[in-house]
Structure 1
């Protein structure tokens, strides 16, 4: 199913966060949103997942009008949002965190199968299965957040700054995991300040500035664009 934002306007009181924003994410793609702090990237994800409501415009996912759905209904439909900061349950074990990802899934056998698959995809989690989430490293917590989302059975995954605070080697591991999740059939909308890593795995990207799209194209095109290189990739 295609995700479409059409002419979206979003305000936080008097702050105009998104301005006539229009983007598309086709089924099976990884699309990245690039931009500096305050560009509107997190606001876009929050709008899609129902945490914020637009003043005007339309957000659709296939035949679903997301502006009229509650966030928990979106989760049940397969739209899952991993916010910045991972938001794992620090006093619960890795395994308990994973199982909570399937809280809307009635088939407990399926929940266990998905948890097992998360362990296969991220063996580090299997090694930490009984460890409290709060004792994990930043990279391990990000893997746990990804695994918990996988147990929910995502069709569309919204990721907000998954590489934040991680060492370069761990960033590569996380990006490889995201690429594998996508290869297994999940569409991904990725917000990421690490533009170099994002463009390596994305099919397409949009650049946001002050709530507007200022550039868009394939990841390869943007990686070669002088303006992107100067602003986000370094010389």
Structure 2
């Protein structure tokens, strides 16, 4: 059986007096894609932010590769290969495509290795290679999302956290983004994918969790959840 790379056990998270996560329990196994589905305000982004070290769980444990990371610093997690692509892309709009990619490897001391990772991104995404000297803010929405994912890839993620990568994109571009995520996963990177576009997420995921008001309400193999009437009515229209 594939081992769990990330485990959340009975996690509670508060913002002041507001309880964002409630006894949240889930796991992500090595080299799989796990989709985290739910409506706005369900707790999806809070889950990623807590895993990334931006917020600390008030109760419960967050374990990655066998060690408790509940109190780990975000920059230490990035250095160790736990990397998040935030909602809204957040590229540096006045910097070039190439400069944005270079920043993805800011903790890499080996410049030759950094150049090699950037070349890999250009091979996966030839359009970014064509625009390497172009300012990030002048790219289309889809290209900016590809750049954000490419920047994370340069950091050599072992676990890639993606927050709503399809948001605001046309269906054809969503398909391209999902294909890129699958390609990265096929290369050995474990992926936790937060999405409102359940149809697109379940198409590439191995397993999925649905969270409502901060707790898991449903989970299972992605192929099975894609046929679930409740999922279809709530998230697929």
Please classify the TM superposition score into its range, dividing by the shorter chain length: over 0.9
Q: Which runs of 5+ in 2 are unaligned?
A: none
Give me the whole-angstrom Cα distance separating, in 2, the residues matched to 1:46 and 1:112: 29
Contact 2:56 2:71 in 1 (8 A): no
Counterpart residue number, 2:199? 196
Give me the whole-angstrom Cα distance separating, in 2, the residues matched to 1:140 and 1:20: 37
Counterpart residue number, 1:115? 118
For residues 128-182 of structure 1, what are the alpha-carbon distances to aligned partners after superposition, in whole Å with 9 as ceiling and x for unaligned? 1000001111100000011111110000000000000000000000000000000
Give me the whole-angstrom Cα distance separating, in 2, the residues matched to 1:27 and 1:82: 19
For residues 109-136 of structure 1, what are the alpha-carbon distances to aligned partners after superposition, in whole Å with 9 as ceiling and x for unaligned? 0000000000000111001100000111
Give me the whole-angstrom Cα distance separating, in 2, the residues matched to 1:82 and 1:65: 22
SS in 2 for 1:52: coil
Equivalent of residue 94 in structure 1, options 93, 97, 100: 97
For the pair 1:28 / 2:31, whether they are aligned, the reply is yes
Q: CA RMSD in A?
A: 0.7
SS in 2 for 1:2: strand
Alignment size in residue pairs: 234
Equivalent of residue 223 in structure 1, options 223, 226, 229: 226
Q: Structure 1 residue 63: deviation in Å?
A: 2.2
SS in 1 for 2:224: helix
Q: Structure 1 residue 26: deviation in Å?
A: 0.2
Q: Which moved more, 1:63-72 or 1:120-129?
A: 63-72
Equivalent of residue 44 in structure 2, options 41, 46, 60: 41
> TM-score normalized by structure 2?
0.98
SS in 1 for 2:210: strand
Give me the whole-angstrom Cα distance separating, in 1, the residues matched to 2:158 and 2:139: 27
Q: Structure 1 residue 9: deviation in Å?
A: 0.2
For the pair 1:205 / 2:214, whether they are aligned, the reply is no
Give me the whole-angstrom Cα distance separating, in 2, the residues matched to 1:224 and 1:194: 15
For residues 167-223 of structure 1, what are the alpha-carbon distances to aligned partners after superposition, in whole Å with 9 as ceiling and x for unaligned? 000000000000000000100000000000000000000000000100000001100
Equivalent of residue 59 in structure 1, options 57, 62, 79: 62
SS in 2 for 1:68: coil
Q: Which runs of 5+ in 1 are unaligned?
A: none
Give me the whole-angstrom Cα distance separating, in 1, the residues matched to 2:158 and 2:217: 28
> TM-score normalized by structure 1?
0.98
SS in 1 for 2:117: helix
SS in 2 for 1:4: strand
Structure 1 runs of 4+ aligned residues shifted over 2 Å read none
Give me the whole-angstrom Cα distance separating, in 1, the residues matched to 2:37 and 2:109: 37
